[in-house]
Structure 1
Amino acid sequence: MHPTPAQPHRAAPDREIESLAEFDEVVAAHGSLARFRIQAVDLTARTADLLRLDTDGAVFLGCPMSPEAAARVRSSGALVFPPVPGLPFDPYRGFVYSPDELFESLAEGYEATPDARAYAWFQRTKADGDVFSSMLRAVHDDAVSDALDELLVGARVVGVMGGHAMERGTAAYAGAARLGRELTRAGYTVATGGGPGAMEAANLGAYAAPFADRMLDEALRLLAKAPSFRPSVTDWARSAFEVRERWPGGGESVGIPTWFYGHEPPNAFASHLAKYFANATREDGLLARSNAGVVFLPGAAGTVQEIFDNATPNYYESRGEPTPMVLVDEAHWTTELPAWGLLQSLARGRSMESRIALVDRIEHAADAVKRLGS
């Protein structure tokens, strides 16, 4: 497995500092930390700066620092939220996750990874109803939302919705992968629920976008040896990292998974993983950030819910800018689960009417997104 890559350096929005490099830039440019928000930055090597700078109105969120520095910044008007010991995650984190971070220690088995340990912590603290733990979960999820918004500034995001049951080695999985590849090559940022099945397939396609077409064909054959995350998440995840190691430097995409469903591990092909404890926050956030459209692959209750969760803001959109909605598989959405008819009825006479489409084949989905969004 590759080591965790360095997070991209970005200018701090407003007065946020989220990396040591940003801290040093602010100190050099302003000579003051007054009213800045410093988020999950290890400041143990910056004691000299903390002892001399103005920190009035500053807020330090989960920043390790020397006791001397902590006492001084508090006395100078700063509010300090210290790191919380013993957690398998950082509630104040400034960036979304990477697959390498969540799957660290996979060589020892999935149970040893930060992802599995965070789920175990969630199950334990959810059961005992500890208010401090629920507060930490809320702080974490808010920090992840903030990081995700910063990551996606200026991006044209297309959500791909589909279930976790779709297995590697199937025609449906290959089709979802080709969809992710085509959307990425067209300049969109693919966003999924970040889990296995159709979600992994779309993220895989985005990862494959910079390579020749045959790379995806070969990757699909390799992954088919571990078709599902059941019975072994370890084998399923290892095969994905083997593909990444054979073809490093793939295209970027976003996954938005949740620890609420512990049986759905995140996939290794989404370059950025915004993982939440609260599933409702995760689902609403995924649809809300899909500003260039959403593709709905065949699914069951969860996908039906997502269709109408997405349709609701489109229905009430008063500025004439609803996001495209593309449903894939005519028989599924008109006969097996006839959501298409109800969606058409809702859309009739409203601005969203020209932004919905039903396509019979997944190969037509990307073109439909482009057409509806033009």
Structure 2
Amino acid sequence: MDRTRRERRQGQAVVRGRLVPESTHDQRLLDRQGPADWLHMDPWRVMRIQAEFVEGFGQLAELPRAVTVFGSARTPDGSPEYAMGVALGRAIAEAGYAVVTGGGPGVMEAANRGAREVDGAWSVGLGIELPFEQRMNDYVDLGIEFRYFFVRKTMFVKYSCGFIALPGGFGTLDELFEALTLVQTRKVTSFPVVLMGTEFWGGLIDWVKRALLGTGKIAERDLDLITVTDDVDEAVRVIVESDRARSRQRQEELEAARGYEAEPQ
């Protein structure tokens, strides 16, 4: 087989060679079209988007409690960050959670690899169609390929108890700040966000304090949404304690609702 041929995953399909299109589904969706093109194209895209949501919900419906790990696809095996990713994936799995990543190489592979070292653990990858193809890493047990970023992001949030971000690039920053925005605006509740690597993230945190908090663009309490650490055990502890607190709150709400229903009207 010629391994130099171009290859791209498109949802459940694989295309190679001359069949690889010059743009992705996301690109075509976001491109500005002619004034009436949407009449002929966008309604069909809505159906494809709907199908991706249905596929994702169906495949992940039985997923146990999970933690999503973000980080650079460019982190090499053998680096300290890769080793941290393996240790983190293993610790998350040992705590009883599924490990969810973007399914690619680097830190994502490391976290999936750590999860695979624990018997009975779930190692999940949620991939995305990109112009430069990156295949699903070999340590993923359940892998789903998405065409649209926003569908994939929904799956990350819906099925996770929290996010842990290791050092990464634009994609990691995008996912990090989207998670923080969802927590800040209470679109999701009791959802911890942990940054692994104090040296890497220190400059960003300093900038947030100076440029955002210092000029009143965020509140002091917004900084409490973020935990920065180098300790794998601390990162997992933050997730576990938040998850337990949320479970207790739900149980109390259920008991209160049952008590209200039992009262004579």
Question: Could you tell me the TM-score, scaled by structure 2's length?
Answer: 0.69
Higher strand residue share: 2
Query: In terms of mean alpha carbon deviation, does 260-269 or 133-142 score higher?
Result: 133-142
**Contact 1:119–1:259 (CA under 8 A) maintained in structure 2:** no
Shift of 1:317: 1.0
Q: 2:15 aligns with which of 69, 92, 117?
A: 117
Shift of 1:151: 3.1
Q: Secondary structure at the match of 1:123?
A: coil
CA distance in 1, matches of 2:186, 2:17: 37
Q: 2:124 aligns with which of 251, 254, 262?
A: 254
Tell me how large the CA RMSD over aligned residues is: 3.6
Per the alignment, do residues 285 and 313 of structure 1 end up closer, same or farther by CA in structure 2, a change over 3 Å counting?
A: same
Identity, % of aligned pairs? 24
| Mapping of residues 10-21 of structure 1, within 5 Å | none
Shift of 1:298: 1.4
In the alignment, what sits opposite 1:164? 73
1:315 and 2:199 are equivalent in the alignment: no
In the alignment, what sits opposite 1:146? 54
Per the alignment, do residues 269 and 141 of structure 1 end up closer, same or farther by CA in structure 2, a change over 3 Å counting?
A: farther
Per the alignment, do residues 313 and 173 of structure 1 end up closer, same or farther by CA in structure 2, a change over 3 Å counting?
A: same
**What residue identity is the alignment partner of 1:328?**
M
Shift of 1:309: 0.6
Per the alignment, do residues 208 and 256 of structure 1 end up closer, same or farther by CA in structure 2, a change over 3 Å counting?
A: same
CA distance in 1, matches of 2:143, 2:16: 14
CA distance in 1, matches of 2:48, 2:5: 22
Per the alignment, do residues 181 and 361 of structure 1 end up closer, same or farther by CA in structure 2, a change over 3 Å counting?
A: same
Q: Secondary structure at the match of 1:274?
A: strand
Q: Secondary structure at the match of 2:67?
A: strand
Shift of 1:160: 0.3
**What residue identity is the alignment partner of 2:103?**
G
1:204 and 2:73 are equivalent in the alignment: no
**Contact 2:98–2:121 (CA under 8 A) maintained in structure 1:** no
**What residue identity is the alignment partner of 2:200?**
H
In the alignment, what sits opposite 1:267? 137
CA distance in 2, matches of 1:281, 1:343: 32
**Contact 2:68–2:164 (CA under 8 A) maintained in structure 1:** yes
Per the alignment, do residues 174 and 348 of structure 1 end up closer, same or farther by CA in structure 2, a change over 3 Å counting?
A: same
**Contact 1:356–1:372 (CA under 8 A) maintained in structure 2:** no
Shift of 1:338: 4.1
Stretches of structure 2 lacking an aligned partner (at least 5 in a row): 245-265
> Which has the higher relative contact order, 1 or 2, with Cα contacts under 8 A spaced 6 or more apart?
2
1:357 and 2:212 are equivalent in the alignment: no
**What residue identity is the alignment partner of 1:293?**
G
Q: Secondary structure at the match of 2:127?
A: coil
Could you list the structure 1 runs, at least 4 aligned residues long, displaced by more than 6 angstroms after superposition: 127-137
Stretches of structure 1 lacking an aligned partner (at least 5 in a row): 1-106, 211-249
Larger radius of gyration: 1
Per the alignment, do residues 196 and 140 of structure 1 end up closer, same or farther by CA in structure 2, a change over 3 Å counting?
A: farther
Q: Secondary structure at the match of 1:256?
A: strand
Shift of 1:330: 1.5
Q: Deviations over 1:303-353 (max 9, x none)?
A: 22222111111111178x231111111222122674664799546346x93
Per the alignment, do residues 348 and 261 of structure 1 end up closer, same or farther by CA in structure 2, a change over 3 Å counting?
A: farther
CA distance in 1, matches of 2:4, 2:93: 30
**Contact 1:191–1:286 (CA under 8 A) maintained in structure 2:** no
Question: Could you tell me the TM-score, scaled by structure 1's length?
Answer: 0.51
**Contact 1:334–1:340 (CA under 8 A) maintained in structure 2:** no
